[in-house]
């Protein structure tokens, strides 16, 4: 018997794939969501074989506003005990020059789909008086992000939104956790066109180390976890600095 079911977005690679592995190893059935159906099916097969849980691949493009309700419909017969809102991407470039179509999709995936999935899955969790939501933000949530302006702002939304939901959910049996990883070795940097920047040429964590801290924070019902000692130290310093100075530092790091 599984402990319940975890639905993980962005499970086709990187941090989301590692979170899916931890949920499966923890005895949860998993529903794996992303666009890359082949990658999801391969992971589902390997997780069910390895852990004896049920794993389902659910291909969806979260840039489509119709995706969250379609996903909710497709799992309507399965109570979702854990919702992991992990899917996301970035784009590097001066805002005057970047492509609005990509940024509009980013806001839909990083912000609107995350909020919509929480809107759909939170009420049944509250009704059952049990559930966990894990939202993946970033250390980008703490600072303005010149040359990745929309991405940093999207993560500030995720952090603020999650803290508010955690407060609203207090006493309901449902916990909401936001995790803030720093640079992590995944497909993210390349997808964002950011591999050449100082940030991505500097120290980075592995996706499995990030996922382990995130999973433990969620299972402990923590409200927020900045992932990695170095990132915790840097964000403590960032809290003390004026925002204009922080924007200048981020500008250099994203150049």
Ligand X SMILES: NC(=O)c1ccc[n+]([C@@H]2O[C@H](COP(=O)([O-])OP(=O)(O)OC[C@H]3O[C@@H](n4cnc5c(N)ncnc54)[C@H](OP(=O)(O)O)[C@@H]3O)[C@@H](O)[C@H]2O)c1
Rounded to whole angstroms, how far apart are CA atoms 114 and 48? 26
- 14 exposure class (CB count in 10 Å sphere: 0-12, 13-18, 19+): buried
| Residue 93 binding ligand X, by CB under 6 A | no
Determine which one of 21, 28, 151, 215 is catalytic.
151
Rounded to whole angstroms, how far apart are CA atoms 125 and 173? 8
Nearer Cβ to ligand X (51/155)? 155
As given in the structure block, the two tokens for residue 152 are: 């940093």
Rounded to whole angstroms, how far apart are CA atoms 235 and 229? 10
Rounded to a whole number of angstroms, the minimum distance from the CB of residue 127 to ligand X is 27
Q: Is 95 a catalytic residue?
A: no
| Residue 138 binding ligand X, by CB under 6 A | yes
Q: Is 155 a catalytic residue?
A: yes
| Residue 209 binding ligand X, by CB under 6 A | no
CA 26 and chain centroid, separation: 19
Cβ neighbours of residue 249 closer than 8 Å, sequence gap 6 or more: 143, 241
Among 68, 144, 145, 181, binds ligand X (CB under 6 A): 181
| Residue 186 binding ligand X, by CB under 6 A | yes
Task: Choose one: 57-65, 91-99, 122-130, 242-250; the region binding ligand X (CB under 6 A).
Answer: 57-65
Rounded to whole angstroms, how far apart are CA atoms 135 and 175? 11
Among 61, 103, 163, 209, binds ligand X (CB under 6 A): 61
| Residue 226 binding ligand X, by CB under 6 A | no
Element (H, E) at 177: strand 174-180
Among 63, 122, 165, 169, binds ligand X (CB under 6 A): 63
Of 1, 46, 4, which Cα lies nearest the Cα of 21?
A: 46
Q: Under rule CB under 6 A, how many of the chain's residues touch ligand X?
A: 28
Residue nearest to ligand X (CB): 14
3-state secondary structure of 163: helix
Q: Which residues bind ligand X (CB under 6 A)?
A: 10-16, 34-36, 61-63, 86-89, 109, 136, 138, 181, 183-184, 186-188, 191, 207
Query: Which are the catalytic amino acids?
Result: 151, 155
């Amino acid at each position: 018997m599984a402990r319940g079911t975890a639905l993980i977005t962005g499970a086709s690679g990187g941090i989301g794939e590692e979170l899916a592995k931890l949920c499966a190893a923890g005895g949860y059935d998993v529903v794996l969501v992303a666009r890359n159906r082949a990658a999801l099916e391969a992971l589902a097969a390997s997780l069910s074989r390895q852990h004896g849980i049920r794993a389902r691949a659910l291909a969806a493009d979260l840039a489509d506003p119709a995706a969250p309700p379609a996903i909710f419909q497709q799992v309507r017969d399965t109570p979702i005990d854990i919702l992991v809102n992990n899917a996301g991407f970035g784009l590097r470039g001066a805002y005057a020059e970047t492509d609005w179509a990509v940024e509009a999709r980013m806001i839909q995936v990083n912000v609107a789909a995350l909020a919509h999935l929480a809107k759909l899955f939170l009420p049944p969790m509250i009704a059952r008086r049990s559930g966990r939501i894990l939202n993946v933000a970033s250390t980008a949530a703490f600072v303005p992000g010149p040359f990745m302006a929309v991405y940093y702002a999207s993560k500030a939304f995720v952090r603020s939104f999650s803290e508010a939901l955690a407060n609203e959910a207090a006493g309901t049996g449902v916990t909401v956790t936001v995790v803030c990883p720093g640079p992590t070795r995944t497909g993210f940097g390349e997808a964002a066109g950011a591999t050449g920047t100082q940030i991505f040429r500097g120290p980075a964590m592995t996706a499995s180390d990030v996922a382990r801290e995130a999973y433990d924070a969620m299972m402990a019902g923590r409200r927020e976890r900045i992932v990695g000692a170095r990132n915790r130290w840097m964000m403590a310093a960032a809290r003390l600095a004026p925002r204009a100075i922080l924007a200048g530092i981020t500008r250099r790091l994203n150049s």
